Amino acid sequence: WKTSDAIKGLSATTDKFSSKLWTESAEILANGEWNLTKSKEDYLALKKAVKDEKTKENAKRKTHRELVKGLKERAEKGVPLASDSDFDLPAEEAKLKEDIADDNLDPECLVNWLIDVTKGAGRTFEGVQRLKPDDLKALVASLTTPISITAIAWQLVRIAARYTGMNIRRYNAKKEAYKTRKYLRSLKKDIDKFGVVMGLADEVIPDLSAVEEEIATKKYADRETILSKEELELIQGIDV
């Protein structure tokens, strides 16, 4: 056993922790409260949703190829098209496209698929559902080409997890803030009743201005209104 070998081993381990895949995996899990099963299920569901859109697109392309094949066969046999047909063989041939592969998605098609995916994402993927078309275009543009279904599904699950993480952190922040407010209200009552708080020096009495404002305005915050919109906006999911 050599010290140099130990250093090399440690360096290799450190590199793994610094890798993009590791840090993004940790981000997803941290936002989802380390629920590995749920994170895997979300990833697979999003991957399937994108793949389903690709399958539908390829079915359209196959149908169009069969249409052109039929038109060419009719032309070769000299069979005229119906008098009311508006098919133009050269124009239809120009629209021919090969099937899209899982590991080489068409960026333009992908944006349109994602728009459909986000419309049907449901509550499970609220973070994804909230994405606007411009957000989706930016997301697709940020990916290294060729784009695979795996790559886009991975980024979508990161977005979904960040939204989940944001909601969890906001819930906990409101819960803690309301707990503190209740304590301050109780403290204020003791001060009003006894003039002092036994065992609590004047210099360590916390700021009671929020409670005093509630009393003055007769507007008492509950757990949902304890934090302002601006305060909540500062609380986001983890994003590496």
pLDDT surpasses 60 at 188: yes
Each residue of 111-136: pLDDT tens digit?
999 888 887 655 557 888 888 889 99
What is the predicted pLDDT for the residue at 127? Answer: 84
What is the predicted pLDDT for the residue at 140? Answer: 94
Each residue of 157-183: pLDDT tens digit?
999 999 999 999 999 999 999 999 999
Q: Are 127 and 164 in contact (CB under 8 A)?
A: yes
pLDDT bucket at 13, cuts 50 / 70 / 90: low
pLDDT surpasses 60 at 218: yes
What is the predicted pLDDT for the residue at 151? Answer: 94
Q: Residues 98-115: what's their mean pLDDT?
A: 92
pLDDT surpasses 80 at 12: no
What is the predicted pLDDT for the residue at 1? Answer: 47
